[in-house]
Amino acid sequence: MNYLVVVAHPDDEVLGAGATMYKLAKEGHTVNVCILSGEVNARNNKPTSEELNDDVNSSMDTIGVNKVFKGGFPNIEFNTEPHLKLVQFIEKAIEETQAEVVFTHHPADLNNDHLHTSIACQAAVRLFQRNPEITPLKELLYMEVPSATEWALNKSMGQFSPNTFIEVGEEAINKKIKALAQYRGVMRPFPHPRSDEALKGLAAYRGGQAGMRYAESFESVFKRGF
């Protein structure tokens, strides 16, 4: 099976689905990542472009990602970019990877780039309906990104409501934390959501919701088949 994780910024992919990506890759599936903004200009103590590139590669190697597509869209300024350009960039990644299952941000995330990534991805995954040569999409899932998804303060939008739980186990959670730590300056001390304790605690909580030992949760919003 071919999986594609579409995110706004470097590290979002690990925060939202790092343990699941590791599990899928270990099982022999092909996991690819599409990052729309290959820069972190809005981050304090931001790394150089070369350092960030090294961080991405090191993180993806840790969890077994096959390929990373890096866009040049401006960080925290996706609202200034034409929607079509975002959609077309994601479509190219879908076409090249023959993605069957796509993960992306929840549209109610507080982060503005996450919102625009989600909207663009929703449009892009319909590519197979316009082009019969494209591998049909089997499923689209929203993921939760700690420090963004829980800050969905706009109650006029539907909040993240997990209905899909993937048991990953402690090994995969540890790999997720290790992969995230490859991004310099991203991890924080507890009780920040991007701390070792918080990430492991969230996985334990989501696992407990579904009778599993450590899990990542997702909201499946489109699924073909039975």
* Three-state SS sequence of 19-31: HHHHHHHHCCCEE
- Dist. CA 226–CA 163, nearest whole Å: 16
- Dist. CA 80–CA 116, nearest whole Å: 10
Domains of the chain are 2-223 (3.40.50.10320)
Contact between residue 179 and residue 102 where contact means Cβ atoms under 8 Å apart: no
pLDDT of residue 155: 85
- In this structure, is the dihedral angle defined by the CA atoms of residues 91, 97, 101 and 106, taken in order, positive or negative? negative
Contact between residue 48 and residue 41 where contact means Cβ atoms under 8 Å apart: no
From first to last of its 226 residues, the chain has per-residue pLDDT tens of 999 999 999 999 999 999 999 999 999 999 999 999 987 766 666 788 899 999 999 999 999 999 999 999 999 999 999 999 999 999 999 999 999 999 999 999 999 999 999 999 999 999 999 999 999 999 999 999 999 999 999 888 899 999 999 999 999 999 999 999 999 989 999 999 999 999 999 999 999 999 999 999 999 999 998 6
pLDDT of residue 43: 64
pLDDT of residue 46: 79
pLDDT of residue 16: 98
pTM of structure: 0.96
